[in-house]
Amino acid sequence: MSGRRKDRISQLPIEILDNIMGLLPIQEAARTAILSTIWRDCWSNLTQLKFDLQFCSYVWRKYFDSYNNTSTCMYIINKVLMQHNGPIRKFVFDFKFEPDISISNAPNSRKFDFDQWFLFITRKGVEEMDITFPTTTIATYEINKYFRLPDCIFSCLTLKRLHLSGVLVAPTINAPCIFPNVTSLSFDEVVFGTINLDCVIDVPMLEILSFSYCENASYFNIKAPRLDRLTLNDYEIEDDIEFDARISDSILWDGLQSVAKVLTMFNTFKLRLFNGWRSELQFIKMLLAHFSALEKVVIIRRADLDSHDQFEVMQKLLHFLRASKKAKIIYI
263 and 174 in a single domain? The answer is: no
- Boundary (domain end) residue, out of 188, 205, 227: 227
pTM recorded for the entire structure: 0.74
Task: List beta partners, residue 164.
Answer: 131, 187
| Within-domain flag for 267 | yes
pLDDT for res 251: 42
| Within-domain flag for 103 | yes
Angle of CA points 251, 255, 258, to nearest 5°: 145
Q: What is the mean pLDDT of each run of 10 residues along the chain (332 residues)?
A: 54 61 61 52 75 80 68 83 88 82 60 92 96 70 79 95 93 82 94 73 89 84 84 61 34 56 79 82 86 88 79 86 89 84
| Within-domain flag for 37 | no
Q: Which of 156-189 are b and which e, b meaning 16 or more Cβ less than 10 Å from the residue's Cβ?
A: bebbbbbbbbbbbbbbeeeeeebbbebebbbbbb
Q: Which of 63-74 are b and which e, b meaning 16 or more Cβ less than 10 Å from the residue's Cβ?
A: eeeeeebbebbb
Cα–Cα distances in angstroms (integers) from residue 225 to residues 126, 207, 259, 261, in the given order? 24, 8, 9, 9
pLDDT for res 66: 61
Q: Which of 275-284 are b and which e, b meaning 16 or more Cβ less than 10 Å from the residue's Cβ?
A: bbeebbbbbb
128 and 59 in a single domain? The answer is: yes
- Which domain, by its residues, includes 322? 239-332
Q: Phi/psi at 79 (nearest 5 deg)?
A: -65, -40
192 and 55 in a single domain? The answer is: yes
Domain tally, the chain: 2
| Within-domain flag for 160 | yes
pLDDT for res 117: 94
248 and 172 in a single domain? The answer is: no
Ramachandran class of 76: left when φ > 0, alpha when ψ lies in -120 to 50, beta otherwise? alpha
- Identify whether the C-beta of residue 119 lies closer than 8 Å to the C-beta of residue 158: no
pLDDT for res 34: 46
| Within-domain flag for 94 | yes
- Boundary (domain end) residue, out of 227, 259, 275: 227
How far is residue 31's CA from residue 262's CA, in Å, rounded to a whole number? 51
- Identify whether the C-beta of residue 43 lies closer than 8 Å to the C-beta of residue 21: yes
